[in-house]
């Protein structure tokens, strides 16, 4: 049981990452990674929601009629997304505004529905919780890496603090405006996917 829980936690963080292996959650990964702070908040929000919804659905899995299981899953996710959204508005309003509709769109995130249907409906709450944490952290890791590169090279800052010193600009350095545009996020995610597959050739289709 402990080994199963450990696998459920560790596998999605890198080896079976939901973004770079399963190509899920790409839209939000492209949309919220122009800056590091909203990317971190988005990643943590998805992690909490996936973990808690996995646990709830796992606890209810034997009582949910098969014909309405998707509806029940959507209701659980929608309730958790609403709670997270209200917490962000209360304690991190600026980030909430930056994330805009993308917090609400967590409801339709493929990672959530995929884990609920593929894992939580067949496993106990402990394993489901670990699976949710693992998939959430795997998703968050990609957002953080992409946002780190985009904010650093696009604006010379990290978390809003100037990182590239002024003397670099005085000697001709210029921020790369392409980095803060959505196409660059897609290119960076593509580079991560290429790197991942080059290191995990056993996962490639024969």
Give residue-wise pLDDT tens across range 102-147.
888 787 778 888 889 889 998 899 999 999 999 999 999 999 999 9
> Number of folded domains in the chain?
1
Domain contains 53: yes
Domain contains 123: yes
Q: What dihedral angle (degrees, nearest 10) is formed by the CA atoms of 189, 46, 92, 104?
A: 90
Give pTM, 2 decimals: 0.87
Q: How many H helices and E strands in the chain?
A: 9, 2
pLDDT at 148 exceeding the cut of 90:
yes
Domain contains 19: no
Domain contains 74: yes
Residue 147 CB partners (closer than 8 Å, separation 6+): 32, 33, 34, 35, 36, 38, 39, 40
Domain contains 17: no
pLDDT tens per residue, range 45-84:
999 999 999 999 999 999 988 899 899 999 999 999 999 9
Domain contains 7: no
Domain contains 5: no
**What is the pLDDT at residue 205?**
52
Domain contains 31: no
Q: Give the span between the Cα atoms of 26 and 34, in whole angstroms.
A: 14
The whole domain housing 105 covers: 36-196
Q: Quick one: tokens of 182?
A: 């959505």
């Amino acid at each position: 049981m402990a080994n199963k829980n450990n696998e459920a936690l560790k596998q999605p963080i890198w080896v079976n990452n939901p973004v770079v292996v399963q190509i899920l959650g790409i839209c939000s990964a492209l949309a919220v990674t122009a800056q590091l702070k909203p990317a971190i908040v988005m990643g943590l929000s998805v992690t909490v929601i996936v973990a808690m919804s996995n646990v709830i659905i796992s606890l209810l899995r034997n009582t949910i009629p098969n014909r309405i299981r998707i509806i029940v899953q959507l209701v659980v996710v929608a309730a958790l997304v609403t709670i997270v959204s209200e917490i962000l508005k209360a304690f991190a309003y600026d980030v909430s505004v930056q994330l805009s509709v993308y917090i609400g769109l967590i409801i339709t995130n493929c990672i959530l529905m995929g884990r609920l249907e593929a894992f939580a409906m067949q496993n106990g709450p402990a394993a489901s919780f670990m699976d949710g944490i693992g998939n959430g952290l795997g998703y968050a890791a990609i957002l953080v890496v992409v946002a780190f590169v985009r904010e650093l090279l696009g604006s010379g800052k990290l978390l809003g603090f100037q990182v590239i010193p002024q003397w670099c600009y005085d000697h001709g350095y210029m921020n790369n405006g392409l980095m803060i545009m959505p196409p660059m996020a897609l290119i960076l995610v593509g580079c991560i996917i290429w790197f991942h597959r080059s290191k995990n050739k056993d996962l490639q289709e024969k």
